Amino acid sequence: MPEHLPFRIVESVTRSNMSKNDIRHTIPESEDKDKLTAIIPLLADYLSTEKPKGVSVFEPNSLYRKARALMTEAGNTEKDCNGFLQDIVKLYLETGLFVHSTGSLGRQYTGNIPITAVTDLVNSVVNQPSSFYEASQLPCVAEKIMAEELNRFIGFGKDRFAMIETSGGSLANLTALLAARNSHYADCSRTGMAGINGGMRPTIAMGYDVHYSLIRSVNMLGIGRENIVWLPLDGKRRIDASQVPIVLDKARKSGMDIFCMVCSAGTTSTGAVDPLAGLARIAHERGIWLHVDGCHGASLLLSDSLSHKLHGVEQADSLSWDAHKMLFVPSPCSLLFYKDRQKASLAFRESASYVKSDTGEEYGNGELNFECTKRPSIMNLWVAWAIYGRELFASRIEKLCSLCHDAWEMLREQPDFEALHEPEMNILCFRYMPEVLPEGMSDTDFQLAIREAVCRKGRYFISKAKLDDKATLRVVIMNHRHTTETFKELLDEIREVGKELTLNKSKSKNHE
């Protein structure tokens, strides 16, 4: 699909209903069409850049002043239509990460499937916040369809499972843990934690590399961070299943009541996948809820050649899955699956007379979701799925994972680089280790300085991750236009930056 198609559609939308009806009040008629359609070539231009571009970081105070200067002054009615929208969009396009570019290698999101920009525009125009059927009928139907479509790859019982769409994986994780808590402590949503009898301290067990949203959730659930039972990792940064029973027994003896265990299917820092089947067995033997944080990696389930990595996921009680990561739709769009709809309904028992309607109750998921007004992001996913089917997603994901593996192999041949792990999916942590580091710089300072300097050059955006005590450089291969050449050029850029850092250090030393 040509990448500019969405913008032709934007054009037709802006030319027809929006400009005639709604926008007329705010933009003088003679100018409206030009102003609105003028942003289309800007966006088309933005998308067509071939040169790698990573990130452009404006000094925040100067960006603040620029943004301030773009505002209409009181009483100045002429200025507001004089290219303001264009200037604002231009500034928007100049700042931040260039996720469509091959230079963007640091985050878990990327340029969207182009058609989703159109559906997202339609979402904004029709403005039907989804949660309850009456107000957003097609989004509710789309949510049910996507639940059925994707659950085929998870394998929860099709008559029992439930799925909700949430604004982000962090909220999906929190919601799952709340359902786990309320399922274990039957009356907790009414009495609060103070009403739990027995004197044992309620808690959750999780691996050291869990996403921070889970640690925040523990805080929000009233458990407290210091009560987390930490599960040790093995050499591949996966929860070490052989240690888990020992740790759980010890925690129990010290008064902890572990009601939930969290596994990651793709940790954020390295993409490591915990041994789901083994951990599910341990959890279920002990009556513990198993939540799988698949925000990053659940999408691998769509690929016949990669899905084995999540073997055992069907034994989880809940699974979170970010569609705005490896399903390439605009963020946020996250999915939370439950094995058992009955248990899903325990997260929230509170309802409201003003949102419920008699029609389509079985389609609306408002009862299972914390959110009331919610962007109908599921439409983007459903439309992309309806048009392209699983193939598009599976082939992209396979390509990204295989490129990441190639990158790892390339790294192993470079004596001045060190790979920290063989990639399980499309995330790779590594270090640049030339024979001599700039004088007076620790290894950690050097990696951080490299990352900072690479990003400031503007061609590549990479991220960092701390593994144990080691600072590392981190890439996420997300862009379908990446090639092994992209990675090779990045390594050259890193070497270049390393040289510059060494040179600057010795210059500043000579000045002393």
Ligand X SMILES: *Cc1c(COP(=O)(O)O)cnc(C)c1O
The binding site for ligand X (CB under 6 A) comprises: 108, 168-170, 173, 211, 213, 264, 266-268, 293, 295-296, 322, 332, 334
Q: Minimum distance from CB of 324 to ligand X (Å)?
A: 6
Task: Report d(CA 463, CA 427) in Å as an integer.
Answer: 11
Q: Of 173 and 365, which has the nearer Cβ to ligand X?
A: 173
Q: Minimum distance from CB of 258 to ligand X (Å)?
A: 20
- Number of neighbours of residue 359 by Cβ within 10 angstroms: 11
Q: Of 114 and 297, which has the nearer Cβ to ligand X?
A: 297
- 462 and 454 Cβ atoms separated by less than 8 Å: yes
- 211 and 173 Cβ atoms separated by less than 8 Å: yes
For residue 162, CA distances in Å to 168, 260, 297, 302 come to: 17, 19, 20, 19
Q: Minimum distance from CB of 334 to ligand X (Å)?
A: 5
Cα of first residue to Cα of last residue in the chain, in angstroms, is 59
Q: Of 53 and 324, which has the nearer Cβ to ligand X?
A: 324
Task: Report d(CA 472, CA 411) in Å as an integer.
Answer: 14
Q: Of 213 and 463, which has the nearer Cβ to ligand X?
A: 213
Q: Minimum distance from CB of 141 to ligand X (Å)?
A: 24
Helix (H, G, I), strand (E, B) or coil at 423: coil
Phi and psi for 294 in degrees, rounded to 5? Answer: -105, 25
- 292 and 267 Cβ atoms separated by less than 8 Å: no
Q: Minimum distance from CB of 21 to ligand X (Å)?
A: 35
Q: Of 56 and 331, which has the nearer Cβ to ligand X?
A: 331
Task: Report d(CA 117, CA 9) in Å as an integer.
Answer: 10
Q: Of 264 and 486, which has the nearer Cβ to ligand X?
A: 264
Least Cα distance to 13 among 31, 42, 40, 41 occurs for: 40
Q: Of 165 and 293, which has the nearer Cβ to ligand X?
A: 293
- What are the tokens at 256? 């902890």
Helix (H, G, I), strand (E, B) or coil at 441: coil
- 322 and 296 Cβ atoms separated by less than 8 Å: yes
Residue nearest ligand X, Cβ-based? 169
Q: Minimum distance from CB of 442 to ligand X (Å)?
A: 28
Question: Between helices 29-37 and 39-48, what is the axis angle to 10°?
Answer: 0
Phi and psi for 34 in degrees, rounded to 5? Answer: -60, -45
Q: Minimum distance from CB of 388 to ligand X (Å)?
A: 22
Q: Minimum distance from CB of 167 to ligand X (Å)?
A: 8
Q: Of 6 and 297, which has the nearer Cβ to ligand X?
A: 297
